[in-house]
């Protein structure tokens, strides 16, 4: 079962730390590509803890800036001076044509029904309104992650009960994503392949990985004593690695489009 809301409710506090700042670099970069100067109503959909909202307010000084998210525990962390709405992208509570710009960093891959979600976003946008998104694409080898997976497998953790990226097969591929946007009624689709790079320390890697991601969900299924032993073994194995082994890098996609 893909229960995205309860997953994000569980990880909200950890997400709203360094990880939100790492991702915000890319959220800001794609927002910078949109013509927001005179926009009147701008929304980040799937805004999480709202790291992008201040930047949107700077880019669109005349705008009412809104954040919407499926997960109340995430959006509660967003700055309270902006409109905050608990909403599913696939069933948006906004009137047709009421938004002039929508930004969706690191969200599209979560949508169980991507065509339905993109159609709902297109409907909420005014014709000519702008759209920006960031999605994951390719991953470079990541020795620290390989060690983490190996130790979790050795301790017999069950499979991830709740895979979180049902649309990643489309959103990670520039051609498929462009086709999905075009089908949903977007034009001027422009997708560029960009680099992602993040280098945590060993302690930061472990603090993040034991809470966020597929391996953390597997770890949680181990009985408490076994989980403690597994974490100790992972810590010991990770201590053997050099700092470069912790680099997480790869490609991400910056998508921009206009509501046609």
Ligand X SMILES: C[S@@+](CC[C@H](N)C(=O)[O-])C[C@H]1O[C@@H](n2cnc3c(N)ncnc32)[C@H](O)[C@@H]1O
Nearest of 34, 31, 20, 19 to residue 258 by alpha carbon:
34
Of positions 10, 71, 114, 171, contacts ligand X by CB under 6 A: 71
Please list the residues that pair with 259 across neighbouring strands.
186
3-state secondary structure of 206: helix
Q: Is 132 in the site for ligand X (CB under 6 A)?
A: no
3-state secondary structure of 84: strand
Closest contact distance (angstroms) between CB of 157 and ligand X is: 23
Q: Is 8 in the site for ligand X (CB under 6 A)?
A: yes
The span of 28-36, 64-72, 147-155, 219-227 binding ligand X (CB under 6 A) equals: 64-72
Which residue of the chain is nearest ligand X when measured via CB? 48
Q: Is 212 in the site for ligand X (CB under 6 A)?
A: no
Closest contact distance (angstroms) between CB of 24 and ligand X is: 6
Q: Is 23 in the site for ligand X (CB under 6 A)?
A: yes
- DSSP code, position 78: S
Q: Which of residues 90 and 182 has its CB atom nearest to ligand X in the complex? A: 90
Q: Is 205 in the site for ligand X (CB under 6 A)?
A: no
Q: Rounded to whole angstroms, what are the CA distances from 29 to 115, 192, 194?
A: 25, 12, 10
Nearest of 45, 65, 53 to residue 28 by alpha carbon:
53
Cα(43)–Cα(24) distance, integer angstroms? 15
Q: Which of residues 165 and 237 has its CB atom nearest to ligand X in the complex? A: 165
Q: Is 106 in the site for ligand X (CB under 6 A)?
A: yes
Q: Which of residues 129 and 132 has its CB atom nearest to ligand X in the complex? A: 132
DSSP code string of 152-170: HHHTTPPPPSS---TTHHH
Q: Is 36 in the site for ligand X (CB under 6 A)?
A: no
Q: Which of residues 160 and 235 has its CB atom nearest to ligand X in the complex? A: 160
Closest contact distance (angstroms) between CB of 236 and ligand X is: 30
The span of 83-91, 150-158, 168-176, 238-246 binding ligand X (CB under 6 A) equals: 83-91
CB 4 within 8 A of CB 70: yes
Q: Is 16 in the site for ligand X (CB under 6 A)?
A: no
- Count CB atoms within 10 A of the CB of residue 140: 12
Closest contact distance (angstroms) between CB of 50 and ligand X is: 8
Binding-site residue total for ligand X (CB under 6 A)?
A: 21
The side-by-side arrangement of strands in the sheet containing 99-105 is: 83-86, 64-69, 41-45, 99-105, 125-139, 248-259, 186-198
Closest contact distance (angstroms) between CB of 210 and ligand X is: 18
């Amino acid at each position: 079962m893909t229960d995205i809301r309860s997953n994000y409710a569980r990880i909200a506090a950890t997400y709203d730390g360094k990880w939100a700042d790492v991702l915000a670099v890319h959220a800001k970069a794609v927002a910078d590509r949109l013509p927001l100067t005179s926009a009147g109503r701008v929304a980040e959909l799937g805004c999480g803890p709202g790291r992008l909202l201040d930047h949107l307010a700077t880019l669109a000084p005349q705008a009412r800036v809104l954040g919407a998210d499926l997960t109340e525990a995430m959006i509660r962390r967003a700055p309270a001076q902006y409109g905050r709405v608990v909403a599913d992208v696939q069933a948006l509570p906004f009137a047709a044509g009421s938004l002039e710009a929508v930004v969706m960093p690191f969200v599209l891959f979560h949508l169980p029904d991507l065509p339905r979600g993109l159609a709902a976003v297109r409907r909420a946008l005014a014709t000519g309104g702008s759209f920006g998104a960031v999605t994951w694409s390719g991953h470079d080898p990541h020795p620290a992650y390989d060690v983490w997976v190996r130790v979790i497998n050795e301790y017999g953790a069950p499979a991830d009960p709740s895979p979180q990226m049902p649309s990643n097969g489309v959103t990670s591929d520039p051609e498929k994503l462009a086709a999905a946007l075009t089908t949903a009624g977007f034009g001027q689709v422009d997708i560029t392949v960009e680099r992602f790079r993040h280098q945590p320390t060993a302690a930061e890697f472990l603090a993040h990985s034991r809470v966020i991601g597929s391996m953390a969900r597997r770890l949680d299924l181990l009985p408490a004593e076994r989980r403690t032993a597994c974490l100790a073994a992972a810590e010991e194995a990770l201590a053997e690695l050099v700092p470069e082994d912790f680099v997480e890098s790869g490609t991400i996609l910056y998508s921009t489009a206009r509501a046609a």
